Homo-oligomer: A and B are copies of this chain.
């Protein structure tokens, strides 16, 4: 079987999300580079893969997919072989609901607060040569801390090892790419220090072999 293809390297956080899922279920994949600086993602060839001209796109035989969260679920749903790599838990409505809830929380609360920090401190300096706007970073950190208060209370109250329960799930994995950049490429690596339950959760997440492996390919260089 020809390996599946991911269009866009792990330098792109949303491509890293997809690759983390492929590693979790042990599927071989080929990475096809898309030259962002040359605007290849807005070229006809890539637009045929992803009509919004974004990275990543994904191919599995005749199927071409876009939207990293949809691709990730496809990979997990199609290729999970055991209960251990069932990161969606769709067979159990209660567990799946917790996975979905914290996946949505990442998308609608966590990421929107973290994104400006990521762009100001990591992406724009590398791609545009700018220095971080500290007002934007400060306001975003403030917003993010309010979100983290909810996470800390949730993990403390439920005494769960992971966000959706005592099992690693897609909800946890979704936090990986952007949090990893914040922790390793910005001056805010101590962000979780005042949240003991979040800090312990993040250590557990980063102990996953899949995430360790992908993280070695994620450095955004100028």
Across the interface, which residues of B come within 8 angstroms of A65, CB to CB? 97, 101
Could you give, for residues 104-120 of chain A, a 1 whenever the CB lies within 8 Å of some chain B CB and a 0 otherwise?
A: 11011100000000000
User: Is B96 touching A73 in the complex (CB atoms < 8 A)?
Assistant: yes
A51-B97 contact, Cβ under 8 Å, with A67-B104, A70-B104: no
User: Is A51 touching B90 in the complex (CB atoms < 8 A)?
Assistant: no
Across the interface, which residues of B come within 8 angstroms of A221, CB to CB? none
Contact partner, A97, options B74, B97, B109, Cβ 8 Å: B74
User: Is B101 touching A70 in the complex (CB atoms < 8 A)?
Assistant: yes
Contact partner, A100, options B52, B69, B153, Cβ 8 Å: B69
**This chain: copies in complex:** 2
Most chain B CB within 10 A, of A71, A73, A90, is at A73
Select from chain B the residue with minimum beta-carbon distance to A101: B70
A51-84, CB < 8 A from B: 51-52, 63, 65-67, 69-71, 73-74, 77-78
Please give the distance in Å from A33's CB to the nearest CB on chain B: 23
Can you spell out 20 A-B residue pairs with CB atoms less than 8 angstroms apart?
A51-B150, A51-B154, A52-B150, A63-B94, A63-B97, A65-B97, A67-B101, A67-B105, A69-B104, A70-B97, A70-B100, A70-B101, A70-B104, A71-B97, A71-B101, A74-B94, A74-B96, A77-B93, A78-B93, A107-B107
**A103 contacts B by Cβ under 8 Å:** yes
Most chain B CB within 10 A, of A93, A103, A105, is at A93
Across the interface, which residues of B come within 8 angstroms of A93, CB to CB? 74, 77-78
A170-189, CB < 8 A from B: none
User: Is A66 touching B150 in the complex (CB atoms < 8 A)?
Assistant: no
Contact partner, A77, options B63, B90, B154, Cβ 8 Å: B90
Select from chain B the residue with minimum beta-carbon distance to A90: B90
Closest 8 CB pairs of A and B: A70-B100, A67-B104, A74-B97, A70-B101, A78-B93, A51-B150, A67-B101, A77-B93
Across the interface, which residues of B come within 8 angstroms of A77, CB to CB? 90, 93, 96
